[in-house]
Amino acid sequence: MNQMQDTGPLLSVRNLAVQFNTVDGIVHAVNGISFDLFRGETLGVVGESGSGKSVSMLSLVRLVPEPPGEVTDGSALFRGTHETVDLLKLSWREMAAVRGRRIGFVFQDPLSSLNPLISVGKQIREVLERHNRARGKAAKRRSIELLALVGIPDPEKRYYSYPHEFSGGMRQRVMIAIAIACDPEVIIADEPTTALDVTIQAQIVDLLVRLKRELGISVIWISHDLGVVAGIADRVLVMYGGTAVETGTAETVYQHPRHPYTVGLLGAVPKLHEHNERLVNIEGRPPSVYSRLEQCPFAPRCPWAFERCTQQRPPLLPTGRDEGHSSACWYDLELNERRPGRST
Amino acid sequence: MQRYLLSRAIQSVMLMFGVLVLVFFLVRLTGDPARLMMPRDASPADVEAFREAMGFNEPLVRQFFGFMTNALRGDFGRSLHFRAPAMRMVLERMPATLELALAALAFALFVAIPLGVIGGSRPGTIWDTICRGVGLVGQTIPNFWLALMMISFFSVSLGWFPTFGRGGVRSIVLPAVALGLFPLGKFTRLVRSAVLEVRNEDYIRTAYSKGLLDHRVYTHHIFLNVSVTLVSIVGVQFGYLLGGSIYIETIFSWPGVGRMIHEAVQARDFPLVQALAFVSAGFIVLLNLLTDIAYVLIDPRIRYED
């Protein structure tokens, strides 16, 4: 922990705001989120569909289509081994040099994420050649090594195979091979196991965890599956309605959640040893994304909400429980009391 | 892959056989072929003599086998009007049509691909508007009208190109532009919509996530996938062009099969019509086969289906 503080976080995102300019109006997808990613850690980003978790992470590297997407505010300091850059201020060309080289990606659907008309070998090799890691025969050799590293049997032969000749799990392994090809500092994994069978999910989780440990890569793991994140994340960022509602170590967030949404989310996970007739859910629906957030996004669904929650948006504040644990709520769940407002 | 191509080749041969059968019976379906082929004012004796000479009074089955045996040897009879072997006449005209069709196709693709890619990659911009405009104009302007306008402007007023005939590079420019206009419009629209669709695919995001720059993503990822759609429509359009463009070849007095169709139909020169129909159908079947081969070469998913 101390060592981490000495070097500072690898990635510091502050007040990131992303909107989509659509014909129906402006969609405020991400409303000012801040978080840190430390070297060698796995940050689990959890939230339901539409909470802005994928958009916020992909907008950092400009993989959100522009237009309609637009980053309207914020900074993202990326402290590399030689230089510190603000990702949000890079030109398109400079950003392209970061992607694939310093930041690797694994996407949700391995069936559609690989080009069906190009052999997997070429698709791996392309990233090596793009960032001048290897050319010609060396690039081919390295691609085969990578296939072997991610557990593809018979890699010399499979180098020439096309995506449709692989199963979903195998294609996701190929995606991982592409992601780690240039020894990146960070991997952004956007729901990497969601589209896979449960047994295959476990294999892909194991593979990513092993590679992360062996290669010393930091991972941003986006998921709506609290169970998966609990098993692998060092720290967790809980998102709701385009805002960060709670963050802290995985242990603290899971054992002592302080935001009503996190509490509800954990309550909604079915437990095997209890026999529930009905699955627990959180009442109500996520907020409309067309209005700028002036209030707590969770207020309409929150059993503890009071006037202040609909008048003022709560900032992410330290809970004091342990270092790095913060929650964005006007109600103190531990003391069971309302935090006094400035004027009211 | 070999099995797939072999089965497609066998299908093509069977199709050509079917075309022959159709060509034979269609002429008979129109009534008494001797009456149809002879001039209106021919005397009954002349018609009878003609019927005898052509073998039309023999049993139909026998006529059919005779026709098929000859056709398989490449003999479609003699042109009634020109008194020369029909098939040889058609094949003599083919190079001119082939040349014009290729020039028109090249012109269409040369304009449509860049335009479609530019339009599809920048939807909503002025480039896209131009692209959509060209697509619409190309498909709606009648090519015979454009041909006449171009002749009056470029040939008559400016004197840049000959007004008609085949000879030298200059003579092919106007007919090729006029003939290529429709496929140009079609290809532009097709490329634009295919680019629009493909650029939103997940694997394109993957390509960008690898740090690839636009030109690489477009040339190696987007265009490859667009070409699958393009190949099929190019094959069909080229087939139409090869069938001979009756209007354009007639307007420019281009000595191809299109003009010959016009002449043969007017002269009721049935052996010639039969040979023309067979050759045109043959080219379309051949093009479909080539399209299938191109598919297989581009898309590995088809290659391994069997």
B225 touches chain A (CB under 8 A): yes
pLDDT of residue A342: 54
A287 falls in which pLDDT band (50, 70, 90)?
A: low
Of residues A232, A235, A145, the one with CA closest to residue A192:
A232
Is the pLDDT score of A4 beyond 60? no
Question: How close is the nearest chain A Cα to the Cα of B23, in Å?
Answer: 41
A105 touches chain B (CB under 8 A): yes
Q: Of all helices (H) and strands (E), which one includes residue A201?
A: helix A198-215
How many beta carbons lie within 10 A of that of residue A267, not counting itself?
Answer: 12
**pLDDT category, A5, cuts 50, 70, 90?**
very low
A62 contacts: CB under 8 Å, gap ≥ 6: A71, A92, A95
Q: What is the pLDDT of residue B60?
A: 82
Mean pLDDT of A46-59: 86
Inside any domain, residue B204: yes
- In angstroms, what separates the C-alpha of A109 from chain B's closest C-alpha? 8
Beta-carbon separation of B210 and A109 below 8 A = no
Q: Do B206 and A178 touch (CB under 8 A)?
A: yes
- The residue among A25 and A205 whose pLDDT is bigger is A205
Q: Which two tokens stand for residue A196?
A: 């896979």
Q: Quick count: other Cβ atoms within 10 Å of Cβ B36?
A: 12
Predicted-assembly ipTM surpassing the 0.90 threshold: no
Residue B165 lies in a domain: yes
Question: Chain B residue closest to A174 (CA)?
Answer: B206
Determine, for residues B207 and A115 on separate chains, whether the beta-carbon distance falls below 8 Å: yes
Chosen from B122, B128, B201, B203 to mutate, greatest number of chain A CBs within 10 A: B203
A129-143, A147-161, A221-235, A316-330: segment of lowest average pLDDT:
A316-330
Nearest CA in chain B to A61: B209
**Alpha carbons A155 and A107: distance in angstroms, whole number:** 22
- Closest chain B residue by Cα to residue A66: B122
What are the chain A neighbours of B209 within 8 Å (beta carbons)?
61, 63, 99-100, 104-105, 107
Instruction: Give me the mean pLDDT over the A191-216 stretch.
Output: 86
Residue B105, Cα to own-chain centre: how many angstroms? Answer: 10
B215 touches chain A (CB under 8 A): no
Measure in Å the smallest separation between the Cα of B139 and chain A Cα atoms.
30
Other C-beta atoms lying within 10 Å of the C-beta of residue A282? 19
- Nearest chain A alpha carbon to B228: A117
Q: B74: burial class by Cβ within 10 Å (0-12, 13-18, 19+)?
A: exposed
Probe site for chain A from B210, B219, B222 (most A CB atoms < 10 A) = B210
Give the domain CATH number at B109: 1.10.3720.10
- Whether residue A344 has pLDDT greater than 60: no
Q: Which of B200, B202, B213 sits opposite A113 (nearest CB)?
A: B202
From chain B, pick out residues whose CB is under 8 angstroms from the CB of A107.
Answer: 202, 205-206, 209
* Residues of chain B under the 50 pLDDT cut: 306
The beta-carbon neighbor of A127 closest among B210, B221, B300 is B210
Chain A CB contacts of B201 below 8 Å: 112
Interface contact B211, partner A, CB < 8 A: yes
Q: Which of B201, B206, B298 to mutate against chain A (most A CBs within 10 Å)?
A: B206
Does B228 sit within 8 Å of A63, measured CB to CB?
no
Q: pLDDT tens, A58-81?
A: 999 888 887 788 888 888 888 876
Whether B222 maps to a domain, the answer reads yes
* Structural domain harbouring B242: 86-303
A180 contacts on B by Cβ (under 8 Å): none
Q: What is the pLDDT of residues A298-343, one digit of tens each?
A: 877 877 878 888 778 888 888 877 878 888 888 777 777 777 665 4
**Looking at beta carbons, which residues of chain A come within 8 Å of B231?**
none
pLDDT for A6 equals 46
Closest to A63 (Cβ–Cβ): which among B208, B228, B301? B208
Residue B260 included in any domain? yes
Domain count, chain B: 1
Average confidence (pLDDT) over A159-185: 91
> Which residues contact residue B266 at a Cβ distance below 8 angstroms, ignoring those fewer than 6 apart?
none
The verdict on A159 touching B (C-beta cutoff 8 Å) is: no
Partners of residue A175 in chain B, C-beta under 8 Å = 206
CB A51 within 8 A of CB A237: no
- CB-CB neighbors (< 8 A) of B213 in chain A: 93, 96
Helix (H, G, I), strand (E, B) or coil at A298: coil
Asked if the peptide bond before residue B95 counts as cis, ω within 30 degrees of 0, the response is no
In chain A, count of helices (H) and strands (E)?
A: 12, 14
| Element holding A20 (H helix, E strand) | strand A11-22
- B65 domain residue, yes or no: no
Give which of A102, A112, A113, A119 to mutate to test B binding, by max B Cβ within 10 Å: A113
From chain B, pick out residues whose CB is under 8 angstroms from the CB of A104.
209
CB-based contact A105 B203, cutoff 8 Å? no
Check if B300 contacts A (Cβ < 8 Å). Answer: yes
A206 and chain B: CB distance < 8 Å anywhere?
A: no
List phi, psi (to 5°) of A247: -145, 150
CB contact (8 A) between residue B211 and residue A105: no
Task: Strand A11-22: give its sheet, edge to edge.
Answer: A25-37, A11-22, A69-79, A84-86
Find chain B residues with C-beta within 8 A of A57's C-beta.
none
What distance in Å separates residue B299's CA from the closest CA in chain A?
6
**Of A107, A119, A130, which has the smallest distance from its Cβ to B211's Cβ?**
A130
Residues 175-204 of A with CB under 8 A from B: 175, 178
Mapped onto helix, strand or coil, the DSSP state of residue A28 is strand
Question: CA-nearest residue of chain B to A119?
Answer: B300
> Is B224 in contact with A97 (Cβ distance < 8 A)?
no
Residues 114-143 of A with CB under 8 A from B: 114-119, 126-127, 130-131
- B60 within a domain of the structure (yes/no): no
Percentage of chain A with pLDDT > 90?
A: 22
**Amino acid making up residue A295:** Q
